[in-house]
Chain A
Amino acid sequence: MDVASLQDFLRRERQANRAEAALTAMLAEEALIDRGECLVDLAITRRQRGAVVLACPVNESRFRPGTRLDLVCGGSRLSGVITDITERGLLLHLRVERSVDALPTGPWTARESDIDLSFLVSQCLARLQPGAPGWSFFSTLAGGEPLSRPVATLPGSTTAVIDQVIADAGRTLDSSQRVVLDHCAALPSVYGIQGPPGTGKTMVLALAAETLARLGRRVMVVAPTHQAVNNALSAIHGFFPGRPLVKVGDELRRESLADAIPCRPVREATQGLPPRQHRELIVGMTFVSALHNQALRSSGLVPNAVLIDEAGQLPLVQGACAGLFGAGVTLLFGDDAQLPPVFAADVAEDPLAVSLFQRLRQAHPALIARLNTTYRMNGPLCGITAAEFYPGGEEPLRPCPTVAGNRFTLVGAELPEGLPPEVVSAEPSLVWLQTPDVHSRQANDWEAEAIARVLAHCLHHGKTVRDVAVVTPFRKQAALIRQRIQRLLPADADLPIVDTVERVQGLTVDLIAISLAASDPDFVTGVAGFLFSPNRLNVAISRARTKVIVACSPMLLEVVPADYAAFRGRESLRRVLEGCRES
């Protein structure tokens, strides 16, 4: 890996994105609706200063919260950001320059705003030169020796700071969390912390940020999305309410950010703080903002330590520039066994189409430590996840004793009609609902009906919409399942989350139902890489505390994918499902 190859990758990626956009522009509205790139029945629900909030009653779009959209309907044009998605519609927060009194109901063609980051990233890459700021971090990623590694023994004063931080947070750490925190406090130049589901990655990040701040470091927290930045800063605030925090960014993107944390432009980041506290301030922003705001250098906020959350979703081509922030310590928090960044199809197989976290693993596997105790999944679910998605490591992933014995329970002894009792019983924790069809593509009636009945049964027997959720690879299937659940519930009832796996990352529920939907062998072959992705299966299964139901046709296991990685994913699914059958 060198700077020229990254520049070349960036150019090819930009070209591939433009080619994809050009082909999409040739599609009819009907096809765009099918692809989730059209919004229908859009209406104003609220007005704020300089902004309106719009919603559509049925969300079948492919966009995720945080996406900036350009909307076109006839001669009308709007642009804005998706701030939230609820099961009864898509909510868009739009800032518009003119007053919006009435809107055509649509359909509105929606395209992700063409904010081309390639120029910015290219400029940043061009600054990576031997001896210049950022070179050390980059050369470590390229395989060079890091300037400093985590050390096992810390000075007593540092250990005392860590102990105090843990005590102030009111937490007890497990051994892997403590080791990681000690390593972070040792001020390594580069260090990766892999956080499998439910292992307390965000808490460790908060503790690490606070520890470094108390050790006199100026700390910056960055992440690929506003949501991740908000979560990280809110967690720090939750544990250490006295720590001055600021998010650099637009007030409109505060979303889930704790109310006490201000959102400000970079030049006003220290507003209201006495100068002596400037050094204590922890600043958060998106990674792209941080690249934009290298003016930080002149604002006195240049960080000594950068914590990158969700580094498993940050494309390498961007992440390679992290050294330009000027920090001597760069800590990557993430999990490359969960969802990776998305790349255009034409460059997706390129060796550089990886995340920053994955690249660190390729270059220096010994610089990554894994948190190994999950506080979410029960024993059987953790066992499956550990065996399939987190093999190896010094210590296997294991459940915390307090959750290992947890089992799914409902109020009452009734069973759902027409379905096997094990779908709602305490044992087994993972159930395979075998779909009796071989010609479904993106929607599967049998699975939709079965899953709707299981969920409705749960909601009628003590569970709330926050306790159960459905994951499916296809938006059409998500819409079908939502429709079927709605039929079984009162008209005004809240609905559980039914969505694709991208949407549920970060979610924790008691029961997850997974509907793989596809069973037609030709179709499955065409989408095998996506359908059999172990990362996606890992995220889907590991949302659950106590129960996972996988609905899919046995035909899936007969299909031979063309791609060997997809074949290995299929084998992973087979082992998971055969485990169900054996149990």
Chain B
Amino acid sequence: MDAVPLRATPGPTAGHHFSSLQTCPHKAWSDYFLPGNLKAEPPGFLLAMQREGLAHEEAICQALFPGAVRIPERLAGEERQRQTIAAMRTGAPAILQAYLSAEGRVGIADVLELVGLATESPTGFLYRVGEFKRAQKLMVAHVLQAAWYAELLGGIQGHSITEVFFVLGDGSRLTVPLAETSTIFAAQKILLDKLRTPAARPGPHLCKACLSCPWRSVCIPELIAAEHVSLLPGISRVTAERLRDDHGITRWPQLGAATNQQLQDYGIAPRDWPHLRAAASRLYAGQAVTRQPLNQATLRGLSAMSIEFGSSPVGSPGTPPPPEAVWLENPDAAPTRIGIAADGTTDLTPVTARNPVVVYGTTELAVTHRLLRAAGAPGPQVIDLLALIEDVVHAPLRGLELGQVTEYVRPSLRSPADGPGRLAAMRAVINWLAGDGGTAA
């Protein structure tokens, strides 16, 4: 960690810090102190979700706030703030991308909606905060984020705000009273303030959220180098802190080698010992560490399959590329390439003869289901290997893309670029899950 340069001063607290803190305190600290160029590429699904989120936001703006003033995002913060306040003073019915800031604090609200005149307010009008969310259910982080904007807005208009509203993915408008979350909001502001010093660094801890965290390329190597106890599944943050503070245990080999008596003394229940020891021995051997044991024979019997995609039609960059072929692995021979006609028809007989088959990721899964439906044949069971890994693997992976998994499983494999390459990579991952060695953590 010494080699990672920190920012001299933390960035201002913004709405996203509340969501980071809820996921992992180390993520919130990293948001303050790590330079942006250390962020890992967002996984494909996250990029897709972000794109969909922006499109949703745009649609909502056009439908609900057609005459709104929009604060340009390309301007400097001070100018955005100035334009926001100017729009508030004119009593604009709605202000999109409203920039709100104060000393060390910043927030960009999706919309400020006019409530009415307020002669006692320095801006002359009162506004409420609204946020657009593509999700159909509300998260606590959404509410805390909106509460943060409401606090900043309250400072500008000189009038505290008691509720915020959300427009959710199904178009419904939901008003949330801020009193419900006021205690948590106050507590999280204090926690975030405490994290604004380099010394308050909580330290990384391996969890499911690491797989899509932007700081994973910094934290994961650190966890591996430190042989961190969280590499063992079931060791939560509170347990790791207790092991460190009460027993000086920080490394997984210390737990793996502990006697029954020691484990008892560490407060680990006997029912968890076998699983913990099995995980430690798999870490030693470089095998997949899983949250639940897998059926190795069934795994080895899976047939890997991949979809070869063409290019997006010229002039339609947003259109998904069409599937052009199916690649299917053969046990003792080169993979089979099955072409897909332009109208989407294909002969999937070789695929339907296998059961189950495994693909990688939701895009391949959806295309496979579509092709099987079009073929009209009773399809084989299709398993998404990515979903299986996400569900059961507890390993310091740098992401869920196939290349990121193979990088951990078998670094000698190049990042798979074509059908046969993807099949080879998937086979390596399947065998790793089924008990073959990979990279020792």
Contacts and interface: CB of A to CB of B under 8 A. Distances in A.
A520 interface: yes
20 contacts: A19-B387, A21-B381, A25-B383, A26-B299, A27-B293, A28-B293, A29-B295, A349-B137, A351-B136, A439-B238, A443-B269, A520-B239, A521-B237, A522-B207, A523-B236, A560-B22, A564-B139, A567-B140, A567-B181, A571-B180
Nearest to A21: B381
A18 interface: yes
A469 B365 CA distance: 45
A445 interface: yes
Contacts of A562: 22, 139-141
Given A23-B387, A27-B295, A18 B381 contact: yes
Contacts of A563: 137-140
A26 B383 contact: yes
Interface in B388-405: 388, 391-392
Contacts of B267: 439
Nearest to A348: B137
A517 to B, nearest CB: 12
A23 B391 contact: yes
Given A27-B293, A560-B184, 14 more contacts: A19-B383, A22-B382, A22-B384, A23-B387, A23-B391, A26-B298, A349-B135, A350-B136, A563-B140, A564-B137, A564-B138, A564-B140, A564-B142, A565-B137
Interface string A336-350: 000000000000011
Contacts of A23: 383, 387-388, 391-392
A561 interface: yes
Given A15-B369, A522-B238, A445 B269 contact: yes
A30 interface: yes
B143 interface: yes
B239 A443 contact: no
Given A521-B236, A522-B207, A22 B356 contact: yes
B276 to A, nearest CB: 13
Interface in A1-53: 15, 18-19, 21-23, 25-31, 34-35
Interface in B135-153: 135-143
B293 A30 contact: yes
Interface of B: 22, 135-143, 170, 176, 180-181, 184, 188, 207, 234, 236-239, 242, 267, 269, 271, 292-296, 298-299, 356, 365, 369, 381-384, 387-388, 391-392
Interface of A: 15, 18-19, 21-23, 25-31, 34-35, 349-351, 438-439, 441, 443, 445, 520-523, 560-565, 567-568, 571
Nearest to A15: B369
A438 B184 contact: no
A354 to B, nearest CB: 12
A443 B356 CA distance: 35
Nearest to B242: A439
B203 to A, nearest CB: 15
Contact of A351 (B140, B170, B238, B239): B170
A28 B140 contact: no
Contacts of B141: 562
Nearest to B237: A522
A439 B391 contact: no
Nearest to B383: A22
B292 A34 contact: yes
A351 B174 CA distance: 14
A27 B238 CA distance: 28
**8 A-B pairs with least C-beta separation:** A522-B236, A31-B292, A28-B293, A564-B138, A22-B383, A28-B295, A30-B293, A567-B140
Nearest to A437: B267
Nearest to A562: B139
A451 B206 CA distance: 35
Nearest to A523: B236
A267 B292 CA distance: 49
A523 B295 CA distance: 25
A253 to B, nearest CB: 29
A123 B136 CA distance: 28
A564 B298 contact: no
Contacts of B391: 23
Nearest to A525: B22
Contacts of A26: 294-295, 298-299, 383, 388, 392
Nearest to A521: B238
Contacts of A571: 180
Contact of A27 (B139, B170, B237, B292): B292
Given A15-B369, A26-B388, A31 B293 contact: yes
Nearest to B24: A522
Contacts of B383: 19, 22-23, 25-26
Contacts of A22: 356, 381-384
A31 B391 CA distance: 13
Contacts of B299: 26
Contacts of B238: 438-439, 520-522
Contacts of B365: 19
Nearest to A350: B136
Nearest to B230: A522
Contacts of A27: 292-295, 392
Contacts of A350: 136
B188 to A, nearest CB: 8
Nearest to A18: B381
A240 to B, nearest CB: 45
Contacts of A567: 140, 181, 184
A565 B174 CA distance: 13
Contacts of B392: 23, 26-27
B143 A564 contact: yes
A54 B294 CA distance: 28
A93 to B, nearest CB: 29
B302 to A, nearest CB: 8
Contacts of A520: 236, 238-239
Contacts of B181: 567
A562 B139 CA distance: 6
B136 A349 contact: yes
Nearest to A480: B271
Contacts of A564: 137-140, 142-143, 176
B357 to A, nearest CB: 10
Contacts of B388: 23, 26
Nearest to B366: A15
